[in-house]
Structure 1
């Protein structure tokens, strides 16, 4: 069979896998679980947890239970339809509807901090962007942890094991929109936009007319700098989450059980092992007043509850700062002060322009007839606008080395091939609510190499009470100045020749601000989270006094407990983090298998 045909057949089989969920029992009642003991108990069926569930059960050696607080991902329209991802925000039945504490440098506003609460976790509700980051990001991880296993050259096989290039919904030739040799053969479908918009050529033409904004054929080729077409976790016109790509094909295995609708309330220490407290018993419940159940792990408990959930569970279990835990009435078992600290996230805001076009998606969003017609097209043929993520193009850019900002700050990025800020291009007004009239261009500006550092702490010892989340947005003056630079760069972008006759004028409080002081005042009222929290249980060298996990992702000073999710990132990558989470989880699966070989 010719190679190009063989690739098409493989891609088609993978797409079919991503389109049809395997039918298998997923438990909702702990009393129906066939066992009270498993080799591994995974807490969280999210981006990383489902990778582990798949990889640890594929050889049949180990029994695995996955516990998920949320619901099934099946049949949830705003999860399945790529373009409708923003409709899961800020609050929905499939999300943890967190808010931050008042953000001092954002006019004391409470910021929505949504996370996925269903099979697939945040991979089921994110905006689907697939950006792995530069090679430098992972080499920095290796330097910070003292483990060359996290360097890009050693992680690359795991990245290529996660995903494959799937045909776009419109089956157009992807040549010139991505480096076609830079894709692997893993279970996740990753594709280019399946519905072109009038914005696409304007964005790309600008990169060819202004050297400040270089074109990037593929931001996943090792150097992430430049502007180009987005790659998204979409197959056959629908979202391909970890629940679709990893968990679903594994559900028929006899050695895998999944329990949903149950929240893990704490981990219970079961006595010392080689002088360390052992945490191999997991307590969980369906609600605050419901019966608490337990299950045990013969080998390990693996926390994959995310950068908010994982530190919360650790602290509820007595693992964290002894001083902080005592304030909420929790007895310290392991004094590990770094738990919940070092929170990093990417602040973002929207820059708007009114435009002459009447082909933006504004009239689809605010007009029920147009919306329903576009949705029906997606439902019937998996074609049209709704097969796209909310954007077709993006880019990562740097502040020049001769800018005055560097007189007072060190560069927080991983290196010259990693961005300081990001552009996200929307062919309409984003986020909702859309103004009643007019057509709009949106350029989102996000700070992807932030200086600001926040934390997560407990509000109480009630496991059903949300923790206190403080990303401390704009607490570093660097982030404020970087956002100012990004806003002004977005204005320069929209003022280049390709936009003549399309852009009318800037719109909204940020758009109408003129002086630097006015722009920053407007930014403090408009900035929000892009929902990329990381590093709240970060990796560090084995004998380092800081950090929560060692380079093998084992919780320090503890036996039987490992963490596999974005909370372990030693630094935040200057991209959308889901590809890095999948890559980390693939390596973690091999680390776990090697530990118990």
Structure 2
């Protein structure tokens, strides 16, 4: 997901002021553990209500004999206008109640800067605050997962049906012809998650399309990037429908909240997983309980599951919980007074993330700068907001970019060896381009005057990996997050190529008279100089919010992994992980779709009682 400081932030106070709070008659939604039904026993406890946890909790509760408890640290998302209106998403983080408000450790690869690191802390998790881009990833990414795990069920061909189970492709709100924007035949039409192409045109769309015709050798048009081969540039598919965000909560939880066997507990932090005994046959420790609290100073309360605890707290919070529960390496745990229960050195390691750089350009016509018009023109802003509220139509129903490009560095420009290439294979991109109608930056405000557009360059096949470690023995203290950005020469070279490719895209004649130059600090960068482009990347690089890999999946005998192909935590019984932390390699995609697919298959495996190892 993408996290630029879009100028739409000016709308957020309006949106937050229109929050509606539903009545507490939703009997299966609870704000405190003290309100849970007395004496009720839960078969499954799911921790975290993002695309992993919401899917698993919903699917397991389809069996009326299963009692399922879903626990979310943040508040309910229902009725929050800033969550529902797609283009308002950029104001949901950082420093809001819907965000964990994390910050990384200082990054040597980014001139020693730390980076604001948003993660969703609300029902729906990060799917309720992300920028909604929907990409399945490449066939090579999934086939690598199958190879690493030894389970062909994680291959592209095996996973593709789960995507169709998830999706419901809906028409855009302006009802334009989408036949050349998406291949409906490869998608699902009856799933819980709404998927569509942009609901309204942006001023730059026609020029992006013209460039694809003029520079087709470099930027081929891809009608549908979710075919298994995403390479090229095409229309963005996003998780909204009928003008409204489609999140894990709105898709998998709220429609089924009335089920008597599905309880949802919000505003409650799981502080650790509890060891409740040892298995008689295997001697493995059984983790069948969780400890919860409402705040750092409140009392703790234990809740037990009769079958499984499933951690779906995300790539930052899941390893934190495992470590707090004594699952990790002895020395760092002992230093914090935590007794090791399971030796699992890979917990919190192998953190991989996508780094982005925003590159700004000046444009001639102020009317073509949508984001600055939203900031500077109150009448225009009110008209768009009124249009959305009354009809769910208009540009507020879009995400930040109507087009997305997935590209590889041309072979004649690759300065690394084949062994150094971190991508999964020839259908997996090295980098991504996004095109936004305004000034987008994570580090500097838009100039007071002028009109702009931004090309966002993203490294999507990084070889750098970092870690998540404990700062203290409290779940209420942020962990130490070190993504290790630009820690390899491969990453530096690919991001350099991505920045140059974004600028090259705008050299097509389609931009003549539209683009008048570069803007902000980017104007001083000599794009022919490796040193200057690399310095620009280090000064501007930040996260696109895609942390993965901190509880990675591996084969049954792989000692460098945390979970097995069934996503069970190795060395334990009754404990499983279903979220982005299990991905052995970061997908060259926006990972939310991959997590949905992993969760759908995980739910199927749990229902079937499969034991691969």
1:574 to 576, 588, 609: 588
Contact 1:144 1:540 in 2 (8 A): yes
Whether contact under 8 Å (1:86, 1:431) holds in the other structure is: no
Q: Secondary structure at the match of 2:346?
A: coil
Contiguous gaps of at least 5 residues in structure 2:
1-21
Give 3-state SS (helix, strand or coil) of 1:487's partner: helix
Could you tell me how far 1:61 is from its partner in structure 2? Answer: 2.2
Q: Deviations over 1:460-483 (max 9, x none)?
A: 111110000000101112111111
Alignment correspondent of 2:277:
271
Q: Does 1:523 align with 2:537?
A: yes
CA-CA distance at 1:519 after TM superposition: 1.9
Look up the match of 1:342: 350
CA distance in 2, matches of 1:510, 1:591: 50
Q: Once the 2 structures are TM-superposed, how far is the Cα of residue 335 of structure 1 from its aligned partner?
A: 1.0
Shift of residue 503, structure 1, vs aligned partner? 0.5
Kindly indicate whether residue 251 of structure 2 is the aligned counterpart of residue 282 of structure 1. no
Match in the other structure for 1:11:
none
Write the distance in 2 (CA, Å) between the matches of 1:402 and 1:410.
16
Q: Alignment partner for residue 506 of structure 1, among 495, 518, 521?
A: 518
* Structure 1 residues 241-252: aligned runs within 5 Å: 241-252=247-258
Match of residue 238 from structure 1: 244
Counterpart of 1:434 (choices 443, 446, 449) is: 446
Please state whether the residue corresponding to 1:445 is helix, strand or coil.
strand
Moved more, 395-404 or 462-471: 395-404
The answer to whether residue 500 in structure 2 is matched with residue 451 in structure 1 is no
Partner in structure 2 of residue 465 of structure 1: 477
Q: How far off is 1:200 after superposition?
A: 1.0
For residue 537 of structure 1, the aligned residue among 541, 548, 551 is: 551
Deviation at 1:182, TM superposition (A): 1.6
Match of 1:413 among 417, 423, 432: 423
Q: Secondary structure at the match of 1:195?
A: coil
Please state if 1:477 is matched with 2:477: no
Tell me by how many angstroms 1:86 deviates.
1.0
Question: What SS does the corresponding residue of 1:446 show, helix, strand or coil?
Answer: strand
The 5-angstrom pairing of residues 284-299 of structure 1 reads: 284-299=292-307
**Which residue number corresponds to residue 168 of structure 1?**
172
Q: Distance in 2 between matches of 1:366 and 1:309?
A: 38
Q: Which residue of 2 aligns with 1:7?
A: none
Correspondence for 1:583 among 588, 597, 600: 597
Can you list the C-alpha shifts for 1:84-130, whole angstroms capped at 9, x where unaligned? 11111222111110000001110111101100001000000000000
Counterpart contact for 1:163–1:188, Cα < 8 Å: yes
Q: Does 1:32 align with 2:41?
A: no
Query: Once the two structures are superposed, what CA deviation does each residue of 1:355-411 show, in whole Å capped at 9, x if it has no partner?
Result: 112222111133333323321221111111100011100110001122242248621
Alignment partner of 2:571 out of 554, 557, 562: 557
Corresponding residue SS for 1:161:
helix
Structure 1 residues 422 and 232, CA gap change in structure 2 (3 angstroms): same
Number of paired residues? 578
For the residue of structure 1 that corresponds to 2:337, the secondary structure is: coil
Equivalent position to 2:103, from 95, 99, 105: 99
Matched, 1:386 2:389: no
How many angstroms does 1:139 deviate by? 0.5
Shift of 1:23: 4.7
Could you say which residue in structure 2 is the equivalent of 1:351?
359
Runs of 4+ that moved beyond 6 A: none
Asked whether the equivalents of residues 361 and 453 of structure 2 are also in contact (C-alpha less than 8 Å), the reply is yes
Alignment of 1:122-141 (within 5 A): 122-141=126-145
Query: 2:356·2:542 contact (CA, 8 Å) conserved in 1?
Result: yes
* Equivalent-residue separation in structure 1 for 2:328 and 2:34 (angstroms): 31
Give the Cα–Cα distance (whole angstroms) in 1 for the partners of residues 365 and 547 of structure 2. 36
Matching of residue 256 in structure 1 with residue 262 in structure 2: yes
- Residue 348 of structure 1 aligns to a residue whose secondary structure is strand
Secondary structure class of the residue paired with 2:186: coil
1:340-360 C-alpha deviation (Å, 9 max, x unpaired): 000000000101110112222
1:222 to partner: Cα distance: 1.2
Deviations 1:25-46 (A, max 9, x none): 3101212211453100000111
Instruction: Tell me the residue number matched to 2:195.
Output: 190
Q: How does 1:5-24 map to 2 (within 5 A)?
A: 23-24=26-27
1:74, 1:228 → 2: CA distance? 32
CA distance in 1, matches of 2:118, 2:40: 32
Give the whole-Å Cα distance in 1 for the aligned partners of 2:418 and 2:258: 57
Distance 1:307 1:169 in 2: 34
Say which SS state the counterpart of residue 116 (structure 1) adopts: coil
Distance in 1 (CA, whole Å) between partners of 2:441 and 2:186 is 32
Give 2:72's match in structure 1, choosing from 54, 57, 68: 68
User: Does the C-alpha gap of structure 1 residues 310 and 81 become closer, same or farther in structure 2, counting only changes over 3 Å?
Assistant: same
Distance 1:305 1:487 in 2: 33
Secondary structure of 1:405's aligned partner: coil
Compute the displacement of 1:531 (Å): 0.1
CA 1:426–1:110 in 2, change beyond 3 Å: closer, same or farther? Answer: same
What is the match of residue 227 of structure 2? 221
The 1:544/1:407 distance shift into structure 2, 3 A limit, reads: closer
State the distance in 1 between where 2:82 and 2:243 align. 13
User: Shift of residue 496 of structure 1?
Assistant: 1.2
Paired with 1:281 and 1:36, the residues of 2 have a C-alpha distance of: 14
Equivalent residue number for residue 329 of structure 2 = 321
CA distance in 1, matches of 2:392, 2:373: 21
Q: 1:360 aligns with which of 362, 369, 372?
A: 369
- State the match for 2:214 in structure 1: 209
Q: Could you list the runs of 5+ residues in structure 1 that have no partner in the other structure? A: 1-19
User: In the alignment, what sits opposite 2:155?
Assistant: 151
CA root-mean-square deviation: 1.6
Which SS does the other structure have where 1:504 is aligned? Answer: strand
> Separation in 1 of the partners of 2:452 and 2:58?
43
In structure 2, distance between residues paired with 1:459 and 1:41: 26
Aligned residue in 1 for 2:46: 42
